[in-house]
């Protein structure tokens, strides 16, 4: 665990939190944040596509199935729990379901870096799994809200099909899927051309990105009390539960320890790029304070700092006992 | 009437494409947009993670101004961080805006 | 009175956090800020090395408008690159701003 | 007369240096500029490849306002994507702008 | 040809076109676009200057002469054709002449990358040729308009000398020429200091840039019908003609196959950074729909995707027959 | 000296000055400038922290003491001179004292690059010295103004303690100190992860930054006459004096020739990031024309172009005679 906390990525994240707690004037220009996001998505896509082109299809289909299964069911029980135990109203429960069913590309990147540093092998095609898990949960979350709301002929109620189209054409899945395909097609020669920009400095860029993430998470910390103890408990316990499930099923689907841990991390992670944007438009009655705080100020830091080493330990136990 | 108003809408930037499309459909001959940050009854909106605001300005006749405001009120006002206000302006080439 | 004014403040951006805090403390219910460049009696202010300007707009009642202007005048006007001006506007949902 | 107007010019950004120079030459004591995107009778102008717009605001007396508008009309209006409009404003320190 | 289409650069360009066709919300922040432009110009300049310092002058002067000759004459016949066959009015014909006589730094970069990938040798000093070809054609185009317009004492008619000054001091030639000189002066030691930023990741940055170029070209595609069949035909046939000429003359001037192909590509390319800006100010009556659409939505994609491999084949034929 | 002037960094700076003199439209987007600043501070911090972790404490404490001593006393005599000889009023004299006592991270970077190019050894922990020297002088400058002004119960007079807090939490010291600590903690493994982004392309990024610095310095040149001959003389002679002192004391404190030269350069440099921001808020009556012109248009160019080789020669003399 110490190796993880002492990585430049995690330390930069903590520095970002400190900076925002001491009210530093450090700010990333908006366009730097956007540029880093574009970079990360392209880099993940290219590398994943490249590795996917080297993997036999037989290795890929089982984990893919498990991944899709996970991200389609997580929103269901999350929604149920939020409604019954958390006493949230329909839109808020649905928004939280969408966020926790979907995945975080940055948490994913941190998981890759974690494994690279410890030199633990994982399946190179994991980015394609990431790409598959991003959208379904968001659609399911929004559909849950639609089903459970007395339908008024509301002019704001975009049809779910239209939302699906927008999500697929949305920045994050377009770049991820697009560059997966590009990485898949270009072969070694093409990979060598882009690797100096999109692979070699990747961990450095991630460090920069996590500094910015820390700045935002730090500011959100003051919203924690608005969410209350329930949200904090949920934001930590559910990821652990989802990680357990992900690791276990990943193992069954034939993934290595590393691959299973990463699948677990994906299941544990909550989206805070694609999901908030979609929920804001499709579920405006849901309060961003809840889902952004949970995803960004609770689950994200937990996963990055403590979750990763924890999931790794869990994976070791699960994989050895089987 | 042909008196022209400058109507300013400040809203969550996620709504920009929809609002821009709708005001043109309702008769505005143009608009000018810029990215702003701000605070009102909702949270501070000043970063890309949580979203910023868009400021849309359009010069329109009084009729169209009223029409747009009614539409915004019905569709957005209760659900989104948003304000709208207007005041009369003098323009060069009035027909440009009608 | 409850007539609403749009008060615009253009000032050195270093002052932004202070001014935003102060106008809210003096009763403004919100504000909208954006980064601008400009020139006046002081130097051209158009780059990050020497500093740019911030434009802060706030819709407030006449009383609060006056209060803010008096405060700005006392605290900043002689020492900083800064201007302020206002004019009446018509808003949707007047109570949003009071 | 000394009544002050806020004159707003929205134009293709390529014209910014020229317009800023000219309005100062014609007597404006300052201006504030920002980058905006927009649509009017010409194409949508919202990216750097095809060019965006500049919004130039200047607080000037009625005379100078008229002078600037006449100049803009003669030199630019037919050939460029551009609009201009103005309305009276109340300022602090009137002499700052005269 | 497949190798070209399957390069990350070209695929990124196509992805950009797709993204804008499916109305993706993917957008590059303005400042990223500007930063990438600055990067490309500096990188091209530095490398070209460095290579120029290694080349004997006797190798350079003949190709330079040919290049300047090309970019001074292309606007002449382009203008004539536009007026007579295309039935364009003076300002529009002149603007198109300026665009097609001038050159595109991004097309040039793609040509370099194309040759690098196929491991075909070309003269390292080609960037200095690029720098020479940028401005003259724009000035000639604008002068053509001035000569052919009844001179009114118009207050917008900037003297051509002033326009020349502005173009020379303009971002793109200033960076290109400035860093050519810097690259020339700093020697191997200096080159080694900047190569990790300006050489190693160059193809990756170009990939990013072409993604953005695709986004814009894709949006422009819907303007194609405004230009009509004539513009489409012109935007494809003229580049081929100019490429032929460039390759043939390049060969005569002693360039290698690679160098001749790149000179041909330069002749074939149309400017869409320096020329549009200059024409907008100096020829405001010309309609950007024509020249931007032709340069950006027709000629640029054609050159990048099909032109490059085609010109390469042409060069092989020409150079073998001679 | 020629090696210095012919480095890409210095040439880019000169090109920037030329560009702004010929009124080029070349501009860096604001967010690129901000991003480069963030990059430089992180890069300096990380590398310095990493090197600090490898240095025995006994090597570090003496130079640190000297550095702090320098930056606390420089403002004192600068203030005195400005008041008496320069006839500046209290706020302007205090602001100049703050600027010249503090340090410039970019000048520092240029000094590192200068030594790297000439392959002269210097102590790797110098960035921690930079970090120590940034803030004290600014606080002393501001305090000098407070002490020497008849205290009115002014609502703008922020308490100095508050200013200290803001400076410490300010972007530049937060990043510098934060990443010094991170670089110190992460060890070789962590360093290897970030070096491809934050070390390998460093000189290239510095070249870019100096191009932008040149653009701004060039524009400021026209303000030179406002400052007058006194300011020009001061802006050149004082840095030389401070460099002499820094080199001499650095030598006494056990630094190598390289280390002593860098300490001298730090002493010679004037802040133009942290100090102007702080002075603008705390000493609004001071006129930026004076301190910005002196720091940015006189001392900075002098140090970068002529100062560095000069200080190096001085250091050779001083270190050999002792
Ligand atoms: N009184 C005000 N004056 C100026 N802008 C305001 C005001 N109130 C709200 N805004 C702007 O409108 C946005 C949405 O407002 P709200 O719905 O009140 O959160 C805010 O983020 C501000 O940018
Ligand atoms: N007459 C004016 N019209 C519009 N904006 C102005 C005017 N005068 C000053 N400004 C803005 O206010 C800022 C500070 O003004 P000043 O204190 O006069 O330097 C300038 O940088 C401009 O952005
Ligand atoms: N009715 C309008 N309301 C607000 N802004 C407009 C309007 N019409 C045009 N504009 C702005 O002025 C620019 C040039 O207008 P145009 O010459 O009509 O293309 C547009 O790109 C918009 O930014
Ligand atoms: Na998840
Ligand atoms: Na050409
Ligand atoms: Na100093």
Q: What is the pLDDT of residues A189-220, one digit of tens each?
A: 999 999 999 999 999 999 999 999 999 999 88
Rounded CA-CA distance F97/A177 in Å is 56
The answer to whether chain B touches chain F by having 3 or more C-beta pairs less than 8 angstroms apart is no
Q: Tell the burial category of F184 from Cβ atoms under 10 Å away from its Cβ (0-12, 13-18, 19+).
A: buried
Q: What is the pLDDT of residues E260-284, one digit of tens each?
A: 999 999 999 999 878 988 888 888 8
Rounded CA-CA distance C36/B96 in Å is 27
Reduce the secondary structure of chain B to three states and give it as a string: CCCEEEEEEEEEHHHHHHHHHHHHHCCCCCEEEEEEEEECCCCCECECCCECEEEEEEEEEHHHHHHHHHHHHHHCCCCCCEEEEEEECEECCHHHHC
Q: Which ligand is nearest to the CA of A78?
A: 4
- Among A183, C21, D46, B63, which residue's Cα sits nearest to residue E12? A183
Minimal CA separation from C36 to chain F, in Å? 11
Alpha-carbon separation of residue F186 from A104, A200, E147, F123 (angstroms): 25, 19, 68, 20
DSSP secondary structure of E41-72: HHHHHHHHHHHHHHS-HHHHHHHHHHHHHHHH
Decide: helix, strand or coil at residue E141.
helix
Q: Is C81 in the pocket of ligand 2 (CB under 6 A)?
A: yes
Rounded CA-CA distance E61/E58 in Å is 6
Whether E249 shows a pLDDT value over 60: the answer reads: yes
Question: What letter would DSSP give residue C41?
Answer: S
Q: Is D83 in the pocket of ligand 3 (CB under 6 A)?
A: yes
Count how many pairs of residues, chain A against chain F, have C-beta atoms within 8 Å. 85
Buried b (16+ CB within 10 A) or exposed e, E52-74: bbeeeeebbeebbebbeebbeeb
| Chain E residues within 8 A of F219 when measuring between CB atoms | none
Cross-strand pairs, B6: B59, B87
Give the Å distance between the CA of E256 and the centre of ligand 2.
59
Question: What letter would DSSP give residue C42?
Answer: S
Decide: helix, strand or coil at residue F23.
coil
Decide: helix, strand or coil at residue F269.
coil
Rounded CA-CA distance A87/A81 in Å is 8
Give the residue from E288, E292, E294, E297 with the most D CB atoms within 10 Å of its CB, the best one to mutate.
E288
- Residue C27's pLDDT is 96
Rounded CA-CA distance A42/A174 in Å is 10
- Among E229, E241, E298, which residue's Cα sits nearest to residue E87? E229
- Among A209, A237, A252, A217, which residue's Cα sits nearest to residue A100? A237
Are A20 and A218 in contact by the 8 Å Cβ rule? The answer is yes
The whole-number average pLDDT for the span D51-70 is 96
Tell me the pLDDT of chain D averaged across its residues: 93
**CA–centroid distance for C56 within its chain:** 4
Q: Is B81 in the pocket of ligand 1 (CB under 6 A)?
A: yes
Does the beta-carbon distance from E296 to D48 stay under 8 Å? Answer: no
Angle at F41 between CA F38 and CA F47, to 5 degrees: 130
Are F108 and F118 in contact by the 8 Å Cβ rule? The answer is no
Q: Range with the lowest mean pLDDT among B12-21, E148-157, E187-196, F111-120? A: E148-157
Whether C23 shows a pLDDT value over 60: the answer reads: yes
Tell me the pLDDT of chain E averaged across its residues: 91
User: How many CB atoms within 10 Å of residue F268?
Assistant: 31
Whether D1 shows a pLDDT value over 50: the answer reads: no
Closest-CA residue of chain A to B36: A30
* pLDDT profile of chain F (322 residues), mean per 10: 83 96 93 94 94 90 95 95 92 96 95 93 94 92 89 64 87 92 94 96 95 92 81 94 96 96 97 86 87 92 96 92 62
- The residue whose two tokens read 């037919």 is D78
Rounded CA-CA distance F8/F203 in Å is 9
Q: What is the pLDDT of residues E289-322, one digit of tens each?
A: 899 899 999 999 999 999 999 999 999 999 887 5
- Residue E284's pLDDT is 86
User: How many CB atoms within 10 Å of residue B75?
Assistant: 18
DSSP secondary structure of chain D: ---EEEEEEEEEGGGHHHHHHHHHHTT---EEEEEEEEESSS--B-BTTTB-EEEEEEEEEHHHHHHHHHHHHHHTTTTSSEEEEEEE-EESSGGGG-
- Residue F322's pLDDT is 55
Q: Which two tokens stand for residue A266?
A: 């994906």
Strands B4-12 and B82-88: antiparallel
The answer to whether chain C touches chain E by having 3 or more C-beta pairs less than 8 angstroms apart is no
> Please, what is the end-to-end C-alpha distance for chain D in angstroms?
10
Q: What is the pLDDT of residues A154-186, one digit of tens each?
A: 555 678 888 888 888 988 889 999 999 999 999
Q: What percent of chain E has pLDDT over 70?
A: 97
Are F100 and F238 in contact by the 8 Å Cβ rule? The answer is yes
Is pLDDT larger for residue A163 or for residue E110? Answer: E110
Q: Which ligand 3 atom is the nearest neighbour of the CA of D42?
A: 19
Q: Which residues of chain E are at the A interface, by a Cβ-Cβ cutoff of 8 Å?
A: 6-9, 11-12, 15, 18-19, 22-32, 113, 117, 200-201, 203-205, 207-208, 211
- Residue F156's pLDDT is 57
Are E293 and E236 in contact by the 8 Å Cβ rule? The answer is no
User: How many CB atoms within 10 Å of residue E224?
Assistant: 16
Rounded CA-CA distance B33/B29 in Å is 14
Is pLDDT larger for residue E33 or for residue A153? Answer: E33
Q: What is the pLDDT of residues B2-18, one digit of tens each?
A: 689 999 999 999 899 99
Rounded CA-CA distance A262/A234 in Å is 21
Cross-strand pairs, D38: B32, D45
| Chain D residues within 8 A of E292 when measuring between CB atoms | 50
- Residue C1's pLDDT is 42
Minimal CA separation from E30 to chain D, in Å? 6
Q: What is the pLDDT of residues F31-48, one digit of tens each?
A: 999 999 999 999 999 999
Are A224 and A232 in contact by the 8 Å Cβ rule? The answer is yes
**CA–centroid distance for F220 within its chain:** 18
Q: What percent of chain B has pLDDT over 70?
A: 98
Q: What is the pLDDT of residues E157-181, one digit of tens each?
A: 678 888 888 888 988 889 999 999 9
Q: What is the dihedral of CA E297, E302, E308, E309, to 10 degrees?
A: 150
Dmax (CA) of chain D: 43
Q: Does E272 contact D at CB distance below 8 Å?
A: yes
Whether E139 shows a pLDDT value over 60: the answer reads: yes
Decide: helix, strand or coil at residue F282.
helix
- Residue A273's pLDDT is 79
- Residue A284's pLDDT is 86
| Chain D residues within 8 A of B22 when measuring between CB atoms | none
Whether E84 shows a pLDDT value over 60: the answer reads: yes
Parts of chain A with a pLDDT under 70: 1, 151-157, 322
Minimal CA separation from D63 to chain E, in Å? 22
User: How many CB atoms within 10 Å of residue D75?
Assistant: 18
Reduce the secondary structure of A127-166 to three states and give it as a string: HHHHHHHHCHHHHHHHHHHHHCCCCCCCCCCCCHHHHHHH
Are E271 and E138 in contact by the 8 Å Cβ rule? The answer is yes
Nearest to C80 among F27, F30, F284 (CB): F284
Close Cβ partners of C96 (under 8 Å, ≥ 6 residues apart)? B40, B41, B83, C29
Task: Give the relative orientation of helices E30-54 and E202-221 as an angle to the nearest 10 degrees.
Answer: 130
Closest-CA residue of chain A to E211: A175
- Among A135, A11, C47, which residue's Cα sits nearest to residue F180? A11
Decide: helix, strand or coil at residue A118.
coil
Rounded CA-CA distance E250/A88 in Å is 73
- Residue B1's pLDDT is 43
Minimal CA separation from A302 to chain E, in Å? 30
């Amino acid at each position: 665990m110490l190796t993880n906390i002492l990585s430049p990525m995690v330390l930069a994240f903590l520095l970002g939190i400190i900076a925002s707690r001491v009210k530093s004037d450090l700010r990333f220009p908006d366009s730097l944040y956007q540029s880093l996001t574009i970079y990360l998505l392209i880099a993940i896509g290219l590398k994943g596509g490249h590795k996917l082109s080297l993997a036999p299809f037989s290795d890929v289909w089982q984990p893919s199935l498990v991944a899709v299964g996970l991200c389609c069911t997580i929103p269901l029980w999350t929604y149920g729990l939020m409604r019954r135990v958390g006493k949230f109203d329909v839109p808020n429960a649905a928004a939280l379901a969408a966020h926790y069913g979907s995945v975080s590309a940055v948490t994913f990147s941190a998981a890759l870096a974690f494994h690279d540093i410890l030199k633990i092998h994982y399946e190179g095609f994991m980015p394609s799994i990431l790409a598959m898990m991003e959208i379904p949960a968001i659609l399911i979350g929004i559909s849950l809200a639609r089903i459970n709301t007395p339908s008024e002929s509301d002019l704001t109620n975009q049809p779910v099909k239209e939302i699906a189209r927008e999500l697929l054409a949305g920045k994050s899945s377009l770049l991820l899927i697009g560059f997966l395909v590009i990485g898949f097609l270009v072969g070694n020669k093409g990979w060598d051309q882009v690797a100096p920009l999109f692979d070699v400095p990747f961990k450095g860029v991630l460090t920069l990105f996590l500094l910015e993430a820390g700045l935002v998470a730090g500011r959100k910390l003051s919203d924690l009390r608005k969410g209350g103890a329930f949200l904090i408990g949920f934001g930590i316990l559910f990821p652990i539960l989802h990680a357990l499930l992900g690791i276990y099923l990943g193992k069954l689907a034939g993934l290595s320890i590393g691959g299973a841990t990463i699948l677990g991390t994906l299941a544990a992670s909550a989206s805070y790029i694609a999901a908030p944007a979609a929920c804001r438009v499709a579920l405006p009655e849901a309060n961003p304070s809840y889902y952004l705080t949970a995803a960004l100020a609770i689950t994200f830091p937990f996963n990055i700092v403590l979750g990763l080493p924890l999931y790794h330990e869990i994976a070791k136990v699960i994989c050895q006992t089987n | 009437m042909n008196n022209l108003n400058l109507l300013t809408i400040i809203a969550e930037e996620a709504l920009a494409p929809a609002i821009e499309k709708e005001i043109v459909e309702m008769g505005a001959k143009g608009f000018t947009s810029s990215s702003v940050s701000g605070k009102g009854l909702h949270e501070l909106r000043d970063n890309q993670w949580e979203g910023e605001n868009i400021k849309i300005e359009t010069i329109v006749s009084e009729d169209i101004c009223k029409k747009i405001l009614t539409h915004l009120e019905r569709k957005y006002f209760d659900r989104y961080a948003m304000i709208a206000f207007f005041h009369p302006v003098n323009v060069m080439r009035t027909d440009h805006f009608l």
